[in-house]
Amino acid sequence: MTRSDNRSISVTLAAATCSLLGGGIPAPVDAQEEPAWDFNTSLLYYGEDDDRVKDYSVSAIARRMFVDDRFLTIGLTVDVLTGATPNGAIKQDVPQTFTRPSGDGAYTVAAGELPLDDTFKDTRAAFTVSWQQPVGETSLINIGASASREYDYTHIGLNAKFARDFNRRNTTLSAGIALSMDSLDPVGGAPTPLTPMLDVGDKSNRRGDEDKDVLDIVVGVTQVVSRNLIVQANYSYSNSDGYLTDPYKVLSLVDSTTGDTLPRVPAPGAEGPSHQFLFENRPDDRTKHSIYGQAKYYMNGKVLDASYRFMTDDWEIDSHTVDLRYRIPFGADRYFEPHLRFYTQTEAEFYMLSISDSQPLPSFASADYRLGDFDAITLGIKYGWKTRNDNEMSVRVEGYRQTGSIPGNQIIGNQATRDNYPDLNAIIVQLGYRF
Amino acid sequence: MGSPCELICEARKRADALELSALVAAEAWRIEDKFSRYLDDNIVARINSAAGRPVDVDEETAALLDFAVTLYDLSERRFDITSGVLRRIWRFDGGDQVPSRQSVEDMLSLVGWHRVDWRRPELQMPGGMEIDLGGIGKEYAVDRCAALLREQGGSPCLINFGGDLVATEPPLRRRRWKAAVEGDEPDVPNRIIDLKIGALATSGDARRFLLKDGVRYSHILDPRTGWPVPDAPRSITIAADTCVQAGMISTLGMLKGAQAENFLSTQGVVFWCRR
């Protein structure tokens, strides 16, 4: 039989079926084999202005579906980070020279410039795997593991989550636990805290590896309130124990009257810091408590997703986060989703702009801008659409602006004339493809 | 229908669901009562016991017979509603009881639509021959029930009569119905098909076969020879606009034996063929 003969069979059969069944012709069939794997991939660019951090990230999450709602999920993310990051020292009216973290070289920052360490380059690979399955009729268990590796940092983690539905599946209670065992192998060795930055080649205050353990516990409730509204509330506890200091961050040791960084002369013939800088030190324990509430409200195809988080910790950082997303569909398979996020935090109790030479050396000190008092706002939009083969594409563009301030009582002498906490602006562009 | 029949529907009210299921059950029983070859007081029994005398049939039976004739022609006499008598000598129970060549030859004298005189609405068939509409009936019943449900409008429904199924509308919350196609093991899905709307039908039954001297005989019989179709796939699942089309294309595919995939790939249908 030829091809055309074969083809005529289904045509003749369709006509015969029509006369057998008579009447209306049903809609054309739409069936496909359930994909055994589905993939969620994304490309992300995060770029801070003023040649600060840039992150190019590729990630893929593969999910294998098994019968009875069992899932295996595997994720892989590779980040390539470049650019410069503030090293913690304050601006000066003269150029400043620093020894690189490796201890094998030096870099100089121009007068009036915020000192940035431009050796910040890293590639990070992270891997996650998890297994989820129902337990009985109303419960669900998820167990997972994670690992990541970058040149100076290794993470290994385990996690488990249990959820149970009540009240005709309108209420879900969940509890989760995650353990993380991280080790740091800082370039050039972790410096002894609160010791001076030394000349190039002098590694007498460098130590070896460090590690930290993190325990996270979360309990939550999700409630279907009505056909249109679902709300969720969580409490989470997090304890970090071990080396929590940033080995690459320093503080400027300043004159108690002028506020200028004390000068320093490298050893004869040696290259080294032009001023006195002390490596930072943070407590080796941090406990955070946070509460989180989220509401998703559906109205005529539009979805408003609003959430709020309050976090407080024993470093005396309190933070508030408000996150709003509004998904607006148009047509059958396109949508816009504007996003607004506001964040504010108080400074850590040991945060200080600089260390004054008249005060006794504090036990803990950090000038890391991320531990300071700041506000941040993120404004963005996401556009998503369905491709012809029923896959999903999305583009997200967001702007981030962080503005910080230094408490007045920490500003000494000439420091008042300088912008000690410059604004940080970043843009985020993400392309997502789901198939 | 010789298999579990179910209706899954997403109705707004319990009463609506009960009404729809009553509608479907009534239609399924009507078709079962009218066309089952296991009953002795319906039209099929009258035709099969007429012993050579002509029988007048009603419109619906005539439409099914006309449809069977179309399939007989399309399949080059492989699809034949008079082939049911071959089951008297072929019992596909997983055993090794292969009938003798002679008994197959003898039985073939009672097989063949060409021996039947069909002049709508009158059918005359030599005594001893039988017709069996079981190869069409279940798919026909599913499509008839689907048409009744569509007339009622609204509620998305999935009708499943022993693996022949129709989705009238996509389910409201999930985007697709999930249909599991059984493999060799009962109740262990071989694949899962997402069905938004339309019909799925599967031919082939991995548990119905004979095994003798290392040769596996599928339960798909070729009425021209009286022997199982060689190299038939274990199962063929077809997605089509109606259950009748899906069921008939999967049956025609099985009858093609080793050529099943070649045949199916020219039919412009979505198919899954398992060897």
How many whole angstroms separate alpha carbon A215 and alpha carbon A239?
5
pLDDT, residue A3, reads 41
How many whole angstroms separate alpha carbon A101 and alpha carbon A184?
14
| Residue spans per domain, chain B | 5-274
- Positive or negative, the CA dihedral B66, B68, B69, B75 is positive
Nearest to B239 among A7, A12, A29 (CB): A29
* Cross-chain residue pair A34–B194, CB shorter than 8 Å: yes
Measured in angstroms, the CA of A127 and the nearest CA of chain B are apart by 29
Half-sphere exposure of A116 (CA within 13 A, CB side): 20
Determine the residue among A29, A71, A169 to mutate to test chain B binding: the one whose Cβ has the most chain B Cβ atoms within 10 Å: A29
In 3D, which of A299, A296, A130, A157 has the Cα closest to residue A215?
A157
Measured in angstroms, the CA of B172 and the nearest CA of chain A are apart by 13
**B129-142 tens-digit pLDDT:** 999 998 899 999 99
How many whole angstroms separate alpha carbon A341 and alpha carbon A120?
28
**DSSP 8-state assignment for residue B40:** S
Determine the residue among B175, B191, B197, B256 to mutate to test chain A binding: the one whose Cβ has the most chain A Cβ atoms within 10 Å: B197
How many whole angstroms separate alpha carbon A40 and alpha carbon A404?
36
- Structure tokens, B219: 């339960």
Asked if the structure places residue A18 within a domain, the reply is no
- The complex's ipTM works out to 0.87
φ/ψ of A393, rounded to 5, equals -115, 150
pLDDT, residue A68, reads 62
How many contacts does A have with B, using Cβ atoms within 8 A?
106
**DSSP 8-state assignment for residue B114:** G
Asked if the structure places residue A271 within a domain, the reply is yes
pLDDT, residue B12, reads 85
How many whole angstroms separate alpha carbon A146 and alpha carbon A156?
6
Nearest to B244 among A20, A23, A65 (CB): A20
Asked if the structure places residue A5 within a domain, the reply is no
Fold for B5-274, please state it. Answer: T-fold (3.10.520)
User: Mean pLDDT of residues grouped by 10 in chain B (275 residues)?
Assistant: 87 90 94 91 92 93 94 92 88 79 89 93 92 91 93 88 91 80 71 89 75 74 89 89 94 90 86 86
pLDDT, residue A288, reads 98
Asked if the structure places residue A16 within a domain, the reply is no
pLDDT, residue B32, reads 93
Name the amino acid, one letter, at B121.
Answer: P
Q: Which residues of chain A have pLDDT under 50?
A: 1-4
Nearest Cα residue in chain B from A26: B241
* Cross-chain residue pair B191–A34, CB shorter than 8 Å: yes
Could you list the residue range(s) of the whole structural domain that residue A379 is in? 36-434
The count of domains in chain A is 1
pLDDT, residue B201, reads 93
Residues facing residue A143 across a β-bridge:
A131, A160
pTM recorded for the entire structure: 0.66
With left for phi above 0 and alpha for psi between -120 and 50, is residue B94 left, alpha or beta?
A: left
pLDDT, residue A5, reads 55
Burial A226-235 (b: 16+ CB within 10 A, else e): eeeebebebe
For chain A, what is the largest distance between any 2 Cα atoms, rounded to a whole number of angstroms? 103
Q: CB atoms < 10 A from the CB of A396, how many?
A: 18
How many whole angstroms separate alpha carbon A276 and alpha carbon A260?
10
Q: What is the CATH number of the domain that holds A308?
A: 2.40.160.40
- Structure tokens, A119: 């050796």
How many whole angstroms separate alpha carbon B148 and alpha carbon A179?
57
